Structures are given as C-alpha cells and as structure tokens.
C-alpha cells in the first residue's frame, strides 16, 4: 500500500475531522512538525505572548521525527484539533509518558517537571457531566466545547479523554499535585467544579484518574532559565486543543507579552524622558529621613512580634534581615530634594516573605510582570529620544520606584494599625506621587487614610490611572500641615490579578497603558520641579501647590495632540477592560440565600393571603377564619383542611406580624428531607395554565425545563444555592438576570421577605425612595442566618429598630449578658453608623403611622466626632502601641469613652469589679454600668462605640481591655477572687451536676486622677497591665526566699540545742534494755511500730534524696526530744477523742491546706492512738523537694 493510501486509510479508521490546511496526504513529517510549531507560535502571538524563544531545536522530543508514521501524524493532528478523542494509549505513541503513583520515587530537587492528568469517560458519562456542569454559575465555555465534540463523535468514539497539563518542581511528584487539588486547592476553577461533578455522578472515574510524567520535558533551573519552562508548558497546552482542556490560562509562571503596537506608538509620541532624567539628577535622601525610616521599620517589626495572632509571626518570624529588606526597598531616591514617587502594594507574598525577597527581587508573578512592563517603557522612552536602551535596575540604588506594602506581614488583620503605619511612612518620605496597586489600597489612599472605603468595588476600573490630589495629614492634628501632606494618587490594577483567569489581552493592555499614563504624570512633575528650582522657590512651595500645578499642566495637555489622542485611546482601553470584567464576573458561591420574589411573585403570594390585624388579636382571628372557609390548598400543606383542625390551623398563624405572607409561613412549617421541596411548592403557586400544568398533574410539570424556567422567571426567584445543587434543568445564568428582588416603597418593605447571605448574615434592602431614586441599604444580622433550606426571613421595622422574623413571626434577636434579649435584631442604636438606614427606618415607620421615639438620639448624632482616632490597646499588648494621647485622650479616640466613664464613677478612685449582677445579687454591677455608659445617646456616632459594644455587650465581657487601658490614665492594680454564682450551677453532664458554679471576679483597684505611672508595663509598678500569672510567679519567688531564710534560722537554733539533747539521748539509751524486759503497757506494739517506721523512714529518705545534713540533724533532735517527753497511759484515749471531734493537733493538721512544696500529711504526720511513747510515732520524714524554690521541705511534727 502506498504512503498516500495508508494516510487515507488511517483517516477513515480514526474518523478524524477535516484536516488542517497545512496537513496534506503527502506531507513530510519534519515539515509537518515545523508547520505545527509555527501554527502554535502564531496562536500564542495573537494572544500577545512572546514567542522568540520557541524554536524547533528545543522541542525535538515533542515534534514528529523523520521516521514518524502516518498513524502517528494522525494522532498529532487529532491532538491539535480534537484532543478529547485521543486516548492515553495513542498519546504514549508520540511522547514518552511514565505513570505517577503514590509508589513513585521522589523527583530531583531544583528541576521542573511536566505532567498530564487524564479522565476517561464514555459518551453517556460525558453527556451527564455536561448536563450537570452547564448549570454552574460560572457558565464554563469548556463544557460547550465538550458538547460539540460529543455531537460530532458520539457515534464512533468509545472513550473521551479530558486532560490537564501541569508542572511540578522536584522533589514533589505529579501525583502529589493531583492529590492536593483533590483536597480543594482549586475549588473555584473549572477543575474543581469537574471534581465535584465526578464526586456526585461518577466517583469511580475520579478515583481512577491517570497522572503521567512527561519524561523528556524537564527543565533544570540551574542550567536553563525558568522562562524555558514557561515556553514548554505553553506549547503543550496550545498543542492539545486548549478550548477543551482544564487549563484556563496560557501556561507558564511568568507573563511576558507583546504590547499593543498602537498603544506603544501613542506613548512614544509623548516623548517622556522620566527614567533618563531621574538617573542623571537623583540624589540619596538626607540622613534625617534615613534615621526616621530606620525607626519606623523598627516599630513595624516590634508590632509584628508583639501581636503574632494579628501578623502571622507566630508561624514565621519577622526577622531583622526581613526588616532590612523592607527598609531598603522603601527608601526613596530624591529628585530636586523631593521624593518623586513611591509604589504602595497590598501585601507581600508568602514566598517572598519566607525568602526575604523584595517586590523587585522576588519571584512573584506580579513583580516579574511589572519589571517586564517597565523595561519595555524605558526602551520606548529611549527610542523616542533617540538614545540607546537601558537595563532597568529596580533595586534601591537610584530607582524612582520605592516600594512599600500596606500589609508588611503575612496576615491581614487590624486594618487600623496597618493604615496608621502606612500614613506614618508617608509623613516621613513625603512623596509627590503615589502609585497605588489594587482597589483596597486605593480605597485607603483616595479616602485620605481616614477609612478603607474610598473606592467602591464596581467603580474602580473606570478610575484606574486617574490622577487625584489626596492628603495623608494626621486627622487628629491641627490641620496646619495639610498643604505639606498633599500627594497625587494614581490607581493601578494589581498586577497579581493577571495570574487568574485567562490572562486577557484587555487586562494586560490596561496594565501597560496605566504605566504609560503614570510616566506622563511623572514627566510633568519633574518639569514643574525644575521650573521651581530655577525660580529659587522650590523649598518654600508646599506640596499642595506643586500637585495643583502638575494637574493643571496635565489638563492643558489633554486638549492638544498627541496627548488628546493618547487619553482618548486610554479611555477606550479602560472601557474594554471594564467590559471584560463584567463578562467574566460571576456571583460568589457563598451567596446562599432564600428564594425571593419580584413584584409579580409578591402579588401572587398576596392573593393567597396576608396576616391582618395585630398578632393574637380578634381581627387576626376573624381574617384567618374567612381564609379558612376559602379552602386554599396551598395553605394546607401541613395542616389538612378538616373541621377538627380549624383552630389548630388558625393558631399556627396568629403569631405572624401584620402583612406577613401566609403561604411563606406555611412553607416554613414543612418538614422534609429534600431541600428542593421548598422550591417545588413555591413554584407550584406559579404553575402554567392548561396542558401539563393542570392541578391534577401535581409537580410533574416541574420536570419540563421550559415550563419550570417560565415559572421561575415569572416569580423572579433568587434561588438558594442548596436548591440549585439538585437536578436542575434551568440555566443558572438565566436566574442571575433576576438575581435581586425588586425595589419597594417604604410602605411595602414592612413585613416583606428578605434574603440573608448564609456565610455572613448580610441582607440587602432595596428601597424605592422616589421617582428615579432607588437605593440599596445593607444590614448585617448573623442570628438571622437561615439554619435550613426551609427557613424564611421577613423584615419588620419597630420603634426599637429593625427586626428580622422567621416564618412564624418570631423576632430573631441576640442574647445579651444575663440572658436578656436585645430590643431588636438590629437595634436602632446601630443605625447611626449608617444614615441611609436611619432614613429608611423613619420612612417605614411614618408610612405605617408608627410613632417614632423621641429625638434625643438624633440630637446626639449632630455632634461631629471627626475621623476615627487612635484605637485602644489590645488585650495582648506588651507596649503602648499605637501611641496614645496622654494624659487625656482625644474625643475621637477609642479610650475617650472609657476615660469619661472612669472619671464619672471613680472621680477619686475605687474598686471596679467585673462580676455581673446575674452572678452576685446586690453586687456593684460595674460591667452593667459600663455597658449603659457606652449606649448613652451622647456617644451615638462615636467611631469606637461599636468596638466597645462588641466587647462588653455580651455574655463574656472582655475585661482584659480594661486591664490594659485604665492604667494609661490612672494607677491601677488588679486581683482575682473566685465567687460562687447566685444564679448559675453546673450542668447535668458535668462532674458536679447542680453544684455551685464558681466564677472569677476581677477587681481593679483604681487610684485618683493624676496617679498614672510613666511606664505602665514596668514590673516594679505592679499595674494591671501585668498578668496575674506573672504576679503570682513573682510572689511565689518571694515566699520561697522567706521560707529559705526561716529554714536557715531554724537550723541554727537546732545546732545550739544539740548539746542539751545529747544528755537526754544517753539517758534514753541506758534505760532501753530495762524497758524491754519489763514490757511496759503498749510497749510491744510501740516497738513493732518503731521497727516498721524505721523501714518506712529509710524508704522515704531514699526517695527524698538529696537531703541536707542540717535537716537530718533537726529530725534526729526532734525524735530525741519526743522520746524524752513520754506521756501517761491515759493520754492516747484523750488524743483519740480530740481527733474524732476535730480539735486535736493531728486532726487540725489533716484539715490544714499545705503550703507550696508540701503534700497533705496522710499517715505521715499524724499519730496512731496508743503509740505516743514509741519511736515509730515520733519519726520525722523528709518531704519531696520544692520544685519552684529548690529547698527540701520537711514535716516538723507537733507545732
């Protein structure tokens, strides 16, 4: 058979699609390989990816060889055009693959390996997977590609293989990466969605997934540049029909790309010369600035170390070398004595933090992409000014790109402290221009460092690259330095965003165009500084005037060519990127809410009935009785319509608030195991008329996608996520069009259904305030989060605030200290942080003629507290950080409320007790008084009122905050006491059911005004800032020292008495034989006990080693004295009686609680009846050594 006929035969047997235009029947294998690689490079170039390094010589292991057969060429072609039809057996014929399993050896460190994951499905399985995944909120385009291939090849392809190409660095193996993803590292990707689909439908396919190592594709980072590894991954992806792969990106760790030619030409026409001029005329900053920067980053390090739970230093230290790196990259070189610009990043990557690498030197994708863009722009400037190019050096030496992070540590907590430190950095370097990366950073800089909401999420892209004048002046200052604290803010999209999604050309184009605009502003700024230096008034000109002059010149330039053309194009680039974001954005999977209705749906529910009259009123009973006689089937899903059930049905709806929908209340009572029954019953009210929608058809019509979709759209449902995860034939993308409920008037919002986000308790209230005036008001109430798919939530405005009701009309409210319930789900005291919510609340009450409370609260709000002041010290504070206003806090500071409380209740000092009135009847109730003080109307609107309420308006007041902050203004010590609670006991399942529960009462001893010490954390002052554990340890050391002194004194006294005891000892020895012969009463027993005691004493001494000689001498002396003082035979009976009544010394000793270092006496220190004359009773045993003091403790016998 000829070569051509063999090719035709292979084509016929493999059922391939129309071959590509460069693959002919008589094509040479080498020529085919070259053309295939060229086509791959062309495709990458169209996506703005650099392909200069991709050469055939680098991919000989992948491309066809001269001996390649037509069968293999057919596999190459099918892999390029319809990869899922190529099996792994066929793939192994064109590349060397090795299976990677848990038994595979570890790979070589420092080498990048490539692998492929494969999932084999039959046509019917693939169809089920496609049907399941097409209902995802993401609307994955890959699923549509699979469906097309399925339609084309289902008849003649037995197995479809879906793939993911990846890379792993040794010693990890490909199977390790696969197992990591199985554990959830790709939850939000198409691969994660595919894994979840297989878990639900075909778990055996997921278990049998194949992972293969590509043997010839590894890259050694010590020999070859890592950019080659990127090229390999990109070629593998582009060669394998990328639209059908799980890879959504082009591949590669780094993101070099070709710029848009028209953008480059427009920028070159501006003839900026920033880099060259700055390099020629920059100067090192003065020593004063360098000293302040060193001190600043020392403060950053101290804070990070002092608060490990907020910064992450509990996991990884904030080292001195890390601090030095941050200080170096944040040190700006100056132009004409001014800091021209600084870059403000969002955070440091985990990898760079561990490696202690700067943004410019590290390996983050964002940093590499930024350097790639800057290098290209510097080259464009050199070309425009007819000079040679520069190698861009972004290290601290002579760089106009000083860099600082908002979060210089790992964890993103305590935003107030992060903003405080960033503002402090600005006051040191005083930049003229700030390049702010990411929306969160711009939210802070465009808000003048006063809060973090300067930029809304949906409005950031349109303002990217916009130059605005902002201020970093201290909000607590007198405002005199405001003009010197001005700067120009230029917002940039964070370059790290490029590594997510499909690396869009629109996004990359905007990233580079924004830098073009930034270079232009810098060029103008340098021109303005040159002009003022020439005029001799640069030092006397405030930054605010310089900024105004820069923006005036920029505005004038925009009106003329080529600047006008540049900004016209820039605006178009921003619009294109905004459209891209809008196309690719999707609703968060955390938005789990109850189904809601639009206007049409609410009218339908109203037709089924709404609660009339007040709860439990006669009017309510009469209205429900009328509805009962109408016998509406939808209202009897739980309680059947029978005569005996009438009262039961009416009583079940008597608790509803006026206006609540009866049908939703009934649905809330349904008890089912299937979460989608709610949706079915709700949609049943919107069943279509005629045909399959007849009532006798039940919910069968729901199985029809068209009818069900029409009902959903008619109701305007916002379907809960749990319901969506059932078998649902309706495209969720269609549901998203009707995502929110419609805007309603203030009157209609009362008792209307509301959706609560299950992850956060947030609800959006959409209010139609007037013609062409629709607003959304956001509230948060975690106690209202639905606990099951059947829960319904309803808005209900009251004079006390906003209640969120369940289906039965019960208000869901927080439990406060003492079991007291809050006055509303969202008390009106919280409204003052949101003027719109206050306005809405008043409008709803007025619409329903409900009297509003007195205007006292509103009058209090008129006080302007100003911007948020200095936060309070945390409970774990070890130093005064942040610095406080002393000796009196500023009104907007957190401690101002505490300061005023202490002055009011303890004007001359006193005791503040933390025990609540619930635990101590008739107690001082200081916690309750402080809670009432925080809620006083005069503090409504205070920036830290919510902070204090969150910590004290609960069952567990955070008294540690008082311990740290009261000493700032008063001398204050603390002590702890255990007090039996008067109202609480141990539970049934505890060790002491029903027994008294002891609670801790922390007592703060507060001195008078002006008594505060300079250093509240100094041990010698004993302030409440020092923990009680530390104080107890210190006291134990003092006790141990005193005990040691007493022991030494006792040893000296024993030494003096030893001579007197020697006579008594000899007398006792002389009479011993005579006593033995006479056998005095009790003597036999005494001797026996003495012998036994001798053995016991010997054993105890061995355990207590080492024992000092003085202690042994003291014990022997006491034994001698006791033997000399034998009592009469009647004494044992007397002692026994005393012991039984608890009055004798032995009993008193047994009752006494031993000091530290001593154990309860047991039988060691007590005396047996009738043995008072024996040696055994008088023996003295050495005790165990005191662990804390190191001294040996002894029992001293009778005191």
Express each pLDDT in 995-1041 by its tens digit: 777 888 889 999 988 889 988 988 888 888 887 666 666 677 777 87
Each residue's pLDDT tens digit, 153-164: 888 889 999 999
Instruction: Taking residues 664-668, report their average pLDDT.
Output: 71
Q: Residues 902, 838: one domain?
A: no
The 3-state secondary structure of 1082-1147 reads CHHHHHHHHHHHHHHHHHHHHHCCCCCHHHHHHHHHHHHHHHHCCCCCCHHHHHHHHHHHCCCHHH
Helix axes 261-268, 365-384, angle to 10 degrees: 50
Whether residue 588 is contained in a domain is answered as no
> Would you place residue 342 in the very low, low, confident or very high pLDDT band (cuts 50, 70, 90)?
very high
For residue 634, the 8-state DSSP code is G
Contacts of 540 (CB under 8 A, 6+ apart): none
Q: Residues 231, 290: one domain?
A: no
Instruction: Taking residues 783-807, report their average pLDDT.
Output: 80
Q: Residues 906, 828: one domain?
A: no
Number of domains in the chain: 5
Beta-bridged to residue 343, according to DSSP, are 403, 435
pLDDT at 325 > cutoff 70: yes
Q: What is the pLDDT of residue 790?
A: 58
**Omega before 740 cis (within 30°)?**
no
The mean pLDDT value of the chain amounts to 74
Q: Residues 1058, 919: one domain?
A: no
Q: Residues 1017, 1042: one domain?
A: no
Whether residue 251 is contained in a domain is answered as no
Q: Model pTM?
A: 0.43
Q: What is the pLDDT of residue 703?
A: 56
Asked which of 523, 554, 583 is the last residue of a domain, the reply is 583
- Could you give the CA distance from residue 88 to residue 211 in angstroms, rounded to a whole number? 10
Each residue's pLDDT tens digit, 66-121: 888 888 888 998 898 889 999 999 999 999 999 999 889 999 888 889 999 999 99
Whether residue 968 is contained in a domain is answered as yes
Q: Residues 571, 719: one domain?
A: no
Q: Residues 841, 737: one domain?
A: yes
Q: Residues 847, 727: one domain?
A: yes
Under 8 Å between Cβ of 605 and 665? no
Q: What is the pLDDT of residue 601?
A: 53
Whether residue 131 is contained in a domain is answered as yes
- Could you give the CA distance from residue 269 to residue 263 in angstroms, rounded to a whole number? 10
Q: Residues 1050, 1012: one domain?
A: no
> Would you place residue 394 in the very low, low, confident or very high pLDDT band (cuts 50, 70, 90)?
low
Q: Which of 492-496, 592-596, 720-724 bottoms out in mean pLDDT, i.e. has the lowest?
A: 720-724
> Would you place residue 23 in the very low, low, confident or very high pLDDT band (cuts 50, 70, 90)?
very low
Q: Which of 844, 801, 837 is nearest to 822 (CA)?
A: 801
To the nearest whole percent, how much of the chain has pLDDT over 90? 16
Ranked by mean pLDDT, the top range of 122-131, 387-396, 658-667 is 122-131
Contacts of 471 (CB under 8 A, 6+ apart): 448, 449, 482, 485, 486, 487
Q: What is the pLDDT of residue 356?
A: 82
Q: Which of 141, 110, 147 is nearest to 127 (CA)?
A: 147
Asked which of 820, 853, 886 is the last residue of a domain, the reply is 853
- Could you give the CA distance from residue 819 to residue 983 in angstroms, rounded to a whole number? 11
> Would you place residue 1139 in the very low, low, confident or very high pLDDT band (cuts 50, 70, 90)?
very low
Beta-bridged to residue 774, according to DSSP, are 768
Each residue's pLDDT tens digit, 536-557: 999 889 999 999 999 999 988 8
At which residue do the structure tokens 């319904």 appear?
792
At which residue do the structure tokens 């035979």 appear?
1129
Asked which of 853, 869, 886 is the last residue of a domain, the reply is 853
**Residue 1100, CB half-sphere, CA atoms under 13 Å: how many?**
18
Give Cα 620 distance to the centre of its chain: 47
Domain range holding 1137?
1036-1062+1100-1194
Q: Residues 283, 310: one domain?
A: yes
Q: Which residue has the higher pLDDT, 608 or 1167?
A: 608
Each residue's pLDDT tens digit, 736-782: 323 345 678 888 888 887 877 655 677 778 888 887 677 778 787 87
Cβ neighbours of 1066 (radius 10 Å): 10
pLDDT at 169 > cutoff 50: yes
Whether residue 1070 is contained in a domain is answered as no
Whether residue 886 is contained in a domain is answered as no
Q: Which of 192-206, 556-570, 706-720, 782-796 bottoms out in mean pLDDT, i.e. has the lowest?
A: 706-720
Helix and strand tally (H, E) in the chain? 44, 21
Whether residue 590 is contained in a domain is answered as no
Q: Residues 1042, 1160: one domain?
A: yes
pLDDT at 22 > cutoff 70: no
Whether residue 1031 is contained in a domain is answered as no
Under 8 Å between Cβ of 723 and 755? no
Q: How open is the CA angle 834-835-838, to the nearest 5 degrees?
A: 95
Q: Residues 283, 364: one domain?
A: yes
| 3-class DSSP assignment, residue 900 | helix
Across 113-146, b (16+ Cβ under 10 Å) vs e yields bbbbbbbbbebebbbebbebbbbbbbbbebbebb
- Could you give the CA distance from residue 701 to residue 691 in angstroms, rounded to a whole number? 9
At which residue do the structure tokens 């520069």 appear?
390
Instruction: Taking residues 398-419, report their average pLDDT.
Output: 82
Q: What ranges in 466-542 are assigned the alpha helix state H?
A: 505-535
Contacts of 588 (CB under 8 A, 6+ apart): none
* Length of the chain measured in residues: 1199
Cβ neighbours of 881 (radius 10 Å): 16
Q: What is the pLDDT of residue 123?
A: 92
């Amino acid at each position: 058979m000829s070569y051509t006929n063999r090719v035709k035969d292979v084509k016929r047997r493999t059922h391939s699609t129309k071959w590509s235009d460069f693959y002919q029947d008589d094509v040479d294998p080498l020529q085919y390989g070259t053309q295939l690689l060229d086509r791959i490079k062309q495709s990458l170039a169209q996506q703005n990816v650099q392909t200069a390094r991709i050469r055939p010589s680098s991919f000989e292991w992948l491309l066809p060889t001269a001996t390649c057969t037509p069968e293999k060429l057919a596999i190459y072609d099918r892999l390029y055009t319809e990869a899922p039809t190529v099996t792994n057996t066929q793939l192994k014929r064109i590349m060397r693959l090795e299976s990677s399993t848990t038994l595979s050896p570890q790979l070589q460190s420092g080498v990048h390996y490539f692998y492929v994951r494969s999932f084999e499905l039959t046509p019917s399985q693939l169809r089920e997977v496609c049907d399941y995944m097409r209902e995802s909120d993401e609307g994955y385009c890959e699923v549509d590609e699979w469906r097309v291939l399925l339609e084309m090849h289902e008849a003649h392809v037995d197995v479809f293989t879906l793939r993911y190409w990846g890379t792993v660095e040794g010693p990890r193996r490909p199977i390790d990466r696969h197992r990591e993803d199985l554990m959830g590292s790709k939850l939000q990707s198409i691969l994660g969605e595919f894994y979840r689909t297989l878990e639900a439908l075909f778990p055996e396919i997921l278990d049998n997934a194949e992972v293969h190592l590509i043997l010839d594709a590894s890259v050694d980072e010590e020999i070859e540049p890592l950019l080659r590894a990127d090229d390999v991954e990109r070629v593998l992806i582009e060669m394998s029909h990328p639209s059908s792969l799980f890879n959504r990106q082009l591949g590669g760790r780094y993101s070099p790309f070709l710029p848009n030619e028209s953008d480059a030409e427009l920028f070159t026409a501006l003839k900026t010369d920033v880099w060259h001029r700055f390099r020629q005329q920059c100067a090192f900053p003065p020593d004063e600035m360098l000293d302040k920067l060193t001190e600043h980053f020392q403060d950053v390090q101290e804070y990070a170390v002092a608060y490990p739970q907020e910064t992450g230093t509990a996991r990884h230290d904030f080292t001195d070398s890390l601090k030095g790196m941050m200080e170096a990259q944040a040190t700006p070189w100056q132009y004409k004595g001014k800091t021209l610009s600084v870059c403000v990043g969002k955070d440091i990557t985990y990898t760079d933090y561990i490696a202690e690498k700067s943004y410019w030197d590290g390996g983050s994708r964002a940093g590499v992409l930024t350097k790639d863009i800057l290098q290209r722009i510097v080259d464009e400037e050199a070309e425009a000014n007819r000079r040679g190019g520069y190698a861009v050096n972004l290290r601290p030496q002579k760089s106009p790109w000083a860099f600082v992070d908002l979060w210089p540590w790992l964890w993103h907590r305590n935003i107030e402290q992060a903003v405080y430190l960033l503002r402090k950095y600005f006051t040191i370097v005083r930049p003229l221009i700030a390049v702010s990366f990411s929306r969160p950073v711009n939210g802070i800089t465009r808000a003048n460092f006063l809060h973090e909401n300067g930029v809304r999420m949906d409005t950031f892209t349109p303002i990217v690259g916009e130059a605005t004048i902002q201020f970093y002046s201290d909000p607590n200052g007198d405002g005199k330095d405001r003009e010197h604290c001005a700067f120009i803010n230029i917002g940039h999209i964070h370059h790290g965003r490029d590594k997510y999604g499909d690396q869009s050309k629109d996004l990359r184009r905007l990233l580079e165009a924004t830098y073009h605009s930034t270079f232009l502003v810098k060029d103008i700024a340098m021109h303005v500084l040159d002009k003022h230096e020439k005029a001799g008034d640069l030092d006397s000109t405030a930054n605010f005037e310089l900024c105004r002059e820069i923006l005036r010149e920029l505005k004038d330039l925009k009106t003329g060519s080529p600047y006008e053309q540049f900004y016209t194009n820039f605006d178009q680039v921003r619009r294109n990127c905004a459209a891209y974001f809008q196309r690719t954005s999707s609703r968060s999977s955390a938005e789990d809410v109850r189904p809601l209705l639009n206007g049409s749906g609410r009218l339908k529910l109203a037709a089924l009935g709404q609660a009339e009259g007040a709860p439990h009123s006669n009017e309510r009973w009469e209205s429900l009785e009328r509805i009962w006689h109408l016998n509406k089937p939808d209202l009897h899903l739980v309680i059947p319509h029978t005569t005996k059930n009438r009262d039961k049905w009416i009583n079940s709806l008597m608790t509803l608030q006026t206006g609540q929908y009866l049908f939703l209340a009934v649905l809330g009572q349904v008890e089912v195991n299937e979460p989608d029954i709610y949706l079915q019953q709700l949609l049943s009210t919107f069943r279509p008329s005629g045909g399959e929608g007849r009532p006798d058809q039940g919910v069968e019509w729901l199985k029809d996608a068209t009818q069900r979709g029409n009902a959903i759209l008619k109701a305007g449902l916002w379907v809960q996520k749990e319901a969506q995860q059932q078998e649902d034939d309706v495209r969720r993308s269609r549901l998203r069009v009707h995502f929110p409920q419609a805007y309603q008037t203030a009157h209609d919002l009362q008792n209307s259904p509301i959706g609560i986000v299950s992850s956060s308790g947030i609800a959006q209230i959409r209010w139609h305030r007037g013609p062409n005036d629709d607003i959304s008001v956001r509230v948060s109430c975690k106690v209202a989060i639905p606990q099951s798919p059947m829960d319904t939530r309803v808005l209900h405005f009251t004079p006390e605030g906003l209640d969120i009701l369940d289906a039965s009309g019960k208000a869901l409210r927080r439990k406060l200290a003492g079991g007291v319930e809050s006055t509303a789900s969202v008390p009106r005291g919280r409204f003052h942080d949101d003027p719109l919510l206050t306005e809405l609340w008043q409008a709803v009450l007025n619409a329903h003629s409900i009297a509003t409370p007195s205007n006292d609260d509103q009058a209090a709000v008129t006080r302007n507290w100003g911007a948020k002041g200095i936060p309070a010290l945390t409970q774990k504070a070890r130093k005064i950080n942040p610095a406080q206003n002393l000796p009196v806090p500023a009104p907007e500071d957190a401690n101002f409320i505490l300061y005023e409380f202490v002055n009011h209740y303890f004007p001359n000092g006193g005791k503040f007790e933390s025990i609540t009135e619930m635990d101590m009847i008739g107690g001082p109730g200081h916690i309750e008084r402080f809670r009432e003080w925080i809620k006083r109307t005069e503090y409504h609107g205070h920036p830290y009122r919510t902070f204090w309420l969150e910590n004290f308006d609960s069952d567990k007041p955070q008294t540690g905050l008082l311990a740290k902050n009261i000493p700032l203004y008063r001398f204050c010590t603390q002590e702890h006491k255990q007090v039996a609670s008067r109202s609480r006991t141990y539970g049934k399942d505890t060790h002491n059911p029903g027994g008294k529960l002891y609670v801790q009462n922390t007592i703060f001893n507060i001195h008078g005004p002006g008594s505060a010490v300079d250093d509240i954390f100094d041990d010698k002052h004993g302030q409440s800032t020092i923990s009680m554990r530390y104080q107890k340890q210190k006291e134990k050391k003092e006790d141990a020292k005193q005990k040691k002194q007493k022991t030494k004194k006792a040893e000296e006294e024993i030494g003096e008495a030893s001579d007197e005891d020697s006579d008594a000892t000899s007398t006792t020895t002389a009479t011993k034989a005579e006593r033995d012969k006479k056998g005095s009463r009790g003597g036999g027993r005494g001797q026996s006990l003495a012998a036994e005691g001798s053995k016991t004493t010997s054993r105890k001494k061995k355990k207590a080693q080492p024992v000092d000689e003085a202690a042994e001498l003291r014990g022997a002396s006491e034994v001698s004295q006791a033997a000399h003082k034998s009592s009469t035979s009647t004494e044992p009976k007397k002692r026994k009686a005393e012991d039984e009544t608890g009055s004798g010394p032995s009993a008193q000793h047994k009752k006494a609680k031993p000091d530290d270092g001593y154990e309860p006496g047991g039988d060691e220190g007590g005396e047996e009846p009738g043995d008072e004359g024996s040696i055994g009773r008088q023996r003295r045993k050495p005790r165990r050594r005191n662990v804390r003091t190191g001294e040996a403790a002894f029992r001293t016998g009778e005191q």
